[in-house]
Structure 1
Amino acid sequence: MSRVPASRRRPEAVVGTRRLLGALGTALTAAALVVAGPIPAGPVLADTGTQTPTPTTAPGAPSALPGAFTGRAPLMVILDASGSMKLEDAEGERIDQARRQLSGILSDLPDDATVGLLAYGTGTGPNVSERERGCRDVTELAPPAQFDQDALEAAAEEVIPSGYSPIGRAIGQAAAALPTDAPASILLVSDGFDLCTDPDPCASARDAIAANPALTVSVIGIQPDAAADTLFGCITSATGGTYLPLRYPDPTSTSTVDTAQASSSSASVSVARERLEAVLAAGYRREAEGLRPSGTPVVGTVTAQDAPVLVPGDYLDPGFTRGSYYADGAQKNGTVRYYALPQGEGMTPWASATAIGDLRSDEYRQLGLRLSLVNNDDDPCLPLVEATESGGEREPRPMVTAQVGGIVPGADGWSESCAVTEPLYLRVERLGEYRFGTATPVQLTIRSEPPLHATGRALSTSTELPPPTATTPSAISGGTNFATAPLLASGTTVADTIVGGETRFFAVRLGFGQRLAYRVTPIGQGTPVDRAASVAVQIRNPLATPVHTVTGGEGGPFVQRDEDSFLSGSTDVPVAAANRTSDDPEIVRYALPGTYFVLLSMAPAQDGPDATVPYTLTVQAIDATGTGGAAGYDPPATPTAGSSAATSAVPIAAGKSSGATGTPAWTWALGGLGVLTLGVAAAMLISRRRSSGSRRPAPGS
């Protein structure tokens, strides 16, 4: 990194101004740290500026989940028992084939599914005189309830086909028995022969989806003809469901064409089961929510001079339009921005930058960031760091993070060219040719760690922890970024859904000596193999830097095939202050206590619509005392004697979580002192500018 030429260096008056701003920032930081108050949970370095609300549903998700949420949409099955189902051209009677298909479907359902059963055509005969009554003949054999396979199969066996086919009325009645504000599914098993036209089946399907956009209607066609194909195609396309036509050879025909076009019974059962998985997954069909960078808006400067002062918190700079890379024998220069970091005595600076790609790219492109902490003359105070990621056609949008810091100014490892009393700046440079010329927002995370006393040495990789035990799930939707990640208590199990190409964010607090273990379990039967995609679980530290990544199924589908199908893992080592002295950068990332993030991502489908898959996530913070030595923070400035903060050793606090106490009155007084400091410093700054005004050119000159 080159030094700034002397002609571009600031005059002493400006340097003094920057030092004044640095002092002002330090005062404001101290005031902010005091006003933030202690964390009741104990000695955990929290993340000032990072809010972790716990929403019950994410933006754009269904407004509610089914009562006693099991992660599955309730299913209503409609069984055709009209007179045509007595025809013996489906390897026996059509009704018997329908029962066999239904039995296979029920056998594949999990025990905690919610299922109901309707039948039509059982109450009249096929006579014309009975048509009006027959076109209203829909019977509820079992309302949606806790799954009981034996009872449902027994009810289906009692059905005797005889009458008409009021398919439209049956769809409307099935929809009325299901929730209207949550995902739900209807499965129609029918031959499609229908002499009832009021209401029209396709119109009924459209009405049902208008009342509940989260509803899907799928159909298994038993020996359907061309008219039935048209009808069933209309119903399923109107609701986003699946149509599975099952055709069987005519036992009296010797045509090889008929045999080739028909499915065998065993193959039909296999396909039907797989298609039902799509029905259940389709009950959760929703659009993927894109990654949404967050933070207080800020615009960095092209030089350190007049760089905005960033106190601890999260910021978002939208102005990174180009990346640095070498091509065609020439260097392409990327966007560089500077930010001033106020530092208190003995405080340790930490900073990170996270860039999120715009869209999935059809070509291999690289997106990266280069970070450094520099002084007035652009001299690096610590070794610069780089991080890069690549976007691909079938990969989620790239998200790359680089972090820097972790050394007290003036300590071993801090450059001698950077005086402890000098202003400190964060320099961020965008790298790579990914969407060169397109603005890529960069999230900045700034932390200022109080004086630390620690013993011990850096850790090496530990044995993976066993998966945590799942508990009763709560319906909590993951966030779309770090700021909206719901904060989960240790031992919590949440139920959520994920869409191909999407990333869900959750937050967990880890203190010194703790590790994080997790378990991700897809629930229900998921989605067919041709629409499923691999899932990755990533853990990121309080600076949003990745520390752990596991991809499920070795690129295979995220589909539960049995009750033991889940994805699990744990952080590599306990959080320890001594980790910052490690030669392994992966271990250094486990140096900070505070909010760790669990990110769950699912790759987009290879073809067709992206699947929506329900799952549960269980997290567990596990104490690993005696590892990595001991650590603690020196207490903040002594408050008024007897105040509730006198016993706290944590001067940096985040947004309140459940159980947090109110802010003591003395903190507001010290906060007011910070504001007073601001006023005094501002007055000094104005006076200094006035005294040097004769040396500044007039505006427009």
Structure 2
Amino acid sequence: MLAAVSLPLLGALLSPAATASASPAAPEVPEPARIKLVLDLSGSMNENDAGGQTRLAAAKQAVTRIIDTAPEQAPLGMRVYGATYPGQDKKQGCADTQQVLPVTPMDRAARADAKKQVAGFKAVGFTPIGVSLREAAQDLGTSGKRRIVLVSDGDDTCAPPQPCEVARELKAQGIDLAVDVIGFRTPSSARAQLKCIADVTDGSYADADDADSLMANLGTLFRKGWRTYRATGKPVDGSLNGCQDAPLVTPGQYLDKFTGGRDLYYKVKKRPDQRLQVSATAVAEVGYSRGSIISVAAGPAGDGEPRAWLREFDQSMGWANIISAGGRSKPGAGNEEPAPNDVGCILVENEVTRSGDEPMPVELLVGIADKTTQGAGARTPEPRTGADVEGGFSFNSATPIGPGTHRQSIAVGEAPFWRVELKAGQELTVKAGVDIPEDFPGSVTTGWGVTVYNAQRTSTQCNEDNDVTELFAGRTGHIERVCGPWEITEQDDAKSGDSKGYDVPGTYYIQAQIAEPDDKAKGIVVPISLTVDVSGTARSGDGPVFFFGDSAAQGTAPSGAHGAGEQGGTDGKGGTDDTTAAAKDDDSPWGELAMPIGIGAGVLLLGGITFYALRRRGAAAS
């Protein structure tokens, strides 16, 4: 990330006083769901068939990992059954269910207490699943988003009540509660009962055979109660009435909102010798209608719309819940129209919302490049490996990775982000695979999608065929999609005439998802692999390094002189005092356990197999 440096030539143009309005209202960030883990401690958990250890030992390992990685703000509780009564009296054994941890934020004390409880777990008794679900629902209370995550290795040995009937009972009460289920070494005779619980409550079901798969699936299911795409930035209120009364924005990331189909305007200071980058990302709680458009433009205000410096747009292909577009001005004072007093205007055009729609968060990223930013100190994030390579769930929390193959599990409806640093002259190839189970409920529009965004946060072309997704309706097994190889060039390079969006060195973002799945598929946990190959030799040169502000609510800095990615917040984790609370821990376990609130609400799907994005690159003619 950018060190605290003096930028004398930016001086008054980027002075702290020239900031946006101090405390405008920003779109509300959803509260994390309250989650209750219900763990099976019946006698069968002592079976020694979980990858060289007992089921109980594997469960302890996986639950301890959840406790260790839970964000401090995450309200988490635990209930167990079959843990205390080793006898044969069914009445007593079927009443053996206890709350061992009330739902509470995972601060240091709660975390230590929870781990102590887990270490002492013993598996001795009956399997009262239905009774435990009913009690767990009461533990969670009656307000807000709530989830139960059930881990069980077999049938309910205490029915009635039948677990699925209890699930229907809870759903009939109209409470906002879903039950996710992991069948751990579960026989086929019990799997239907456990799947029914998840289906009835709009939850998710996954199988696990050992500690690794239990840990992966448990983490995936917990994530979806803790995070959706978190739009972050310093709150700002863009003008709805044109440039004349717009707030002045300096380099950094801001958080605004679209309302009622209205465009947003901001003032920006830029000399003719400086280059400007503007990126805007609109975030929906659910998917956009097909054909929704977001545009960014900038230039002197003049008598019309500001477009002389840059204009770029992107169009939704249906069911996406982010649309992102970005652009840069061309280098050199002779390539653009100067603005009076160096004050120009940024326009974010809104063809997304309509009158009466709920406010929609919009991230605005503003950067400046000139001679003073070329030598600015920058830190390239260390690529992660192993368990830490799980994707994040926004541009700002995208997980840094390097070349190699990375594996994790995702739930259908989840759309994680990764980031990789690239320089001009290098070539990028992205290969993403997913393993589709035999009983996967596909549809004719179901496909495996991979989207690569460049450092302007604009989507690029994946391959020469320009396919949006790899359709697999009716197919099972391993499905792969390959993007590239594409050479990274400079925007003013002769090679970049047909760059397909790869003419911006810096931070590239990779997003993977199952596109337009059948509703019945949402929440199914599937293993994926992501292979990134970076070949070629980075070219030397003095390409632009954009400064995005010391307190931008985003990740770390670009790599070297060709940098076009994000400069980061001063805490090294993508968050500063100027960011929203949700931005503060994007490199923390909160970011690692980032998942949509309710799988259906977070579907980042870029379906529309034959309908492609319309995109205009570079500065429009004035």
Q: TM-score, normalised by structure 1?
A: 0.49
Q: CA deviation at 1:199?
A: 8.7
Q: 1:601 aligns with which of 507, 513, 529?
A: 513
Q: CA deviation at 1:510?
A: 1.8
Once residues 91 and 206 of structure 2 are traced to their aligned partners in structure 1, the CA distance between those partners, rounded to angstroms, is 19
Once residues 420 and 355 of structure 2 are traced to their aligned partners in structure 1, the CA distance between those partners, rounded to angstroms, is 34
Q: Secondary structure at the match of 2:400?
A: coil
- Indicate the RMSD between aligned Cα atoms, in angstroms: 5.9
Query: Residues 597 and 382 of structure 1: is their aligned pair in 2 closer, same or farther, counting only changes over 3 Å?
Result: same
The answer for the alignment partner of 1:576 in structure 2 is 489
Query: Residues 77 and 306 of structure 1: is their aligned pair in 2 closer, same or farther, counting only changes over 3 Å?
Result: same
Query: Residues 531 and 387 of structure 1: is their aligned pair in 2 closer, same or farther, counting only changes over 3 Å?
Result: closer
1:294 counterpart letter in structure 2: T
The answer for the alignment partner of 2:441 in structure 1 is 530
Spell out, residue by residue over 1:290-326, the C-alpha distance to the aligned partner (whole angstroms, 9 max, x if none).
Answer: 323222222223222243333222222214431xxxx
Spell out, residue by residue over 1:481-537, the C-alpha distance to the aligned partner (whole angstroms, 9 max, x if none).
Answer: 222223334447364x534433322322222223444454558x8694138964422
Task: Confirm whether residue 352 of structure 1 aligns to residue 279 of structure 2.
Answer: yes
1:373 counterpart letter in structure 2: A
Q: Secondary structure at the match of 2:257?
A: strand
Once residues 241 and 518 of structure 1 are traced to their aligned partners in structure 2, the CA distance between those partners, rounded to angstroms, is 32
The answer for the alignment partner of 2:503 in structure 1 is 591
The answer for the alignment partner of 2:326 in structure 1 is 403
Task: Confirm whether residue 512 of structure 1 aligns to residue 424 of structure 2.
Answer: yes
Once residues 476 and 586 of structure 1 are traced to their aligned partners in structure 2, the CA distance between those partners, rounded to angstroms, is 29
Once residues 529 and 522 of structure 1 are traced to their aligned partners in structure 2, the CA distance between those partners, rounded to angstroms, is 12
Once residues 294 and 58 of structure 2 are traced to their aligned partners in structure 1, the CA distance between those partners, rounded to angstroms, is 57
Spell out, residue by residue over 1:154-207, the C-alpha distance to the aligned partner (whole angstroms, 9 max, x if none).
Answer: xxxxxxxxx97959849969999xx9879x9xxxxxxxxxxx9x9966435656
Task: Confirm whether residue 300 of structure 1 aligns to residue 238 of structure 2.
Answer: yes
1:27 counterpart letter in structure 2: G
Q: 1:285 aligns with which of 212, 221, 235?
A: 221
The answer for the alignment partner of 2:361 in structure 1 is 441
Query: Residues 75 and 367 of structure 1: is their aligned pair in 2 closer, same or farther, counting only changes over 3 Å?
Result: same
Q: CA deviation at 1:611?
A: 1.2
2:505 counterpart letter in structure 1: P
The answer for the alignment partner of 2:525 in structure 1 is 613
Q: Which runs of 5+ in 1 are unaligned?
A: 1-22, 33-57, 66-72, 81-101, 118-141, 147-162, 185-195, 245-266, 323-334, 453-469, 637-647, 661-701
The answer for the alignment partner of 2:300 in structure 1 is 375
Task: Confirm whether residue 341 of structure 1 aligns to residue 248 of structure 2.
Answer: no
Once residues 145 and 243 of structure 1 are traced to their aligned partners in structure 2, the CA distance between those partners, rounded to angstroms, is 14
* 1:77–1:116 CA contact under 8 A, matched in 2: no
State the number of aligned residues. Answer: 444
2:541 counterpart letter in structure 1: A
Once residues 530 and 77 of structure 1 are traced to their aligned partners in structure 2, the CA distance between those partners, rounded to angstroms, is 32
* 2:472–2:479 CA contact under 8 A, matched in 1: no
Q: How does 1:64-75 map to 2 (within 5 A)?
A: none
Once residues 544 and 440 of structure 2 are traced to their aligned partners in structure 1, the CA distance between those partners, rounded to angstroms, is 55
Query: Residues 216 and 548 of structure 1: is their aligned pair in 2 closer, same or farther, counting only changes over 3 Å?
Result: farther
Once residues 441 and 529 of structure 1 are traced to their aligned partners in structure 2, the CA distance between those partners, rounded to angstroms, is 34
* 1:171–1:201 CA contact under 8 A, matched in 2: no
1:403 counterpart letter in structure 2: G
Q: Secondary structure at the match of 1:203?
A: helix
Query: Residues 25 and 556 of structure 1: is their aligned pair in 2 closer, same or farther, counting only changes over 3 Å?
Result: farther
Q: Secondary structure at the match of 2:244?
A: coil
Q: CA deviation at 1:545?
A: 0.9
Spell out, residue by residue over 1:366-419, the C-alpha distance to the aligned partner (whole angstroms, 9 max, x if none).
Answer: 42123332224146425743322154xxx342x2223333412544xx35x546
Q: TM-score, normalised by structure 2?
A: 0.54
Task: Confirm whether residue 216 of structure 1 aligns to residue 151 of structure 2.
Answer: yes
Q: Secondary structure at the match of 2:295?
A: strand
Once residues 90 and 497 of structure 2 are traced to their aligned partners in structure 1, the CA distance between those partners, rounded to angstroms, is 70
The answer for the alignment partner of 2:347 in structure 1 is 427
Spell out, residue by residue over 1:81-129, the C-alpha distance to the aligned partner (whole angstroms, 9 max, x if none).
Answer: xxxxxxxxxxxxxxxxxxxxx9xxx9xxxx9697639xxxxxxxxxxxx
Once residues 268 and 309 of structure 2 are traced to their aligned partners in structure 1, the CA distance between those partners, rounded to angstroms, is 14
Q: CA deviation at 1:538?
A: 1.6
Task: Confirm whether residue 321 of structure 1 aligns to residue 260 of structure 2.
Answer: yes
* 1:512–1:575 CA contact under 8 A, matched in 2: yes
Q: How does 1:676-695 map to 2 (within 5 A)?
A: none
The answer for the alignment partner of 1:458 in structure 2 is none
* 1:531–1:611 CA contact under 8 A, matched in 2: no
Q: 1:502 aligns with which of 404, 414, 438?
A: 414
1:655 counterpart letter in structure 2: G
* 1:75–1:116 CA contact under 8 A, matched in 2: no
Q: How does 1:224-263 map to 2 (within 5 A)?
A: 231=162, 233=164, 240=179
Q: CA deviation at 1:26?
A: 3.7
Query: Residues 592 and 450 of structure 1: is their aligned pair in 2 closer, same or farther, counting only changes over 3 Å?
Result: farther
1:554 counterpart letter in structure 2: L
The answer for the alignment partner of 1:690 in structure 2 is none
1:321 counterpart letter in structure 2: G
Q: CA deviation at 1:143?
A: 8.0
Task: Confirm whether residue 203 of structure 1 aligns to residue 131 of structure 2.
Answer: yes
Q: CA deviation at 1:546?
A: 0.9
* 2:266–2:346 CA contact under 8 A, matched in 1: yes
Spell out, residue by residue over 1:213-257, the C-alpha distance to the aligned partner (whole angstroms, 9 max, x if none).
Answer: 533336569xx9xx968535457778947799xxxxxxxxxxxxx
Q: How does 1:632-651 map to 2 (within 5 A)?
A: 632-633=542-543
* 1:538–1:599 CA contact under 8 A, matched in 2: yes
Decide which structure has greater helix share: 1
Q: Secondary structure at the match of 2:207?
A: helix
1:493 counterpart letter in structure 2: H
Q: Secondary structure at the match of 2:11?
A: helix
The answer for the alignment partner of 2:536 in structure 1 is 624
The answer for the alignment partner of 2:458 in structure 1 is 545
Q: Secondary structure at the match of 1:631?
A: coil
* 2:425–2:536 CA contact under 8 A, matched in 1: yes
1:441 counterpart letter in structure 2: P
1:203 counterpart letter in structure 2: V
Once residues 491 and 613 of structure 1 are traced to their aligned partners in structure 2, the CA distance between those partners, rounded to angstroms, is 23
Query: Percent identity at matched positions?
Result: 17
* 1:478–1:485 CA contact under 8 A, matched in 2: yes
Query: Residues 526 and 235 of structure 1: is their aligned pair in 2 closer, same or farther, counting only changes over 3 Å?
Result: farther
Query: Residues 472 and 390 of structure 1: is their aligned pair in 2 closer, same or farther, counting only changes over 3 Å?
Result: closer
Q: Secondary structure at the match of 1:280?
A: strand
* 2:299–2:345 CA contact under 8 A, matched in 1: yes
Query: Residues 338 and 471 of structure 1: is their aligned pair in 2 closer, same or farther, counting only changes over 3 Å?
Result: closer
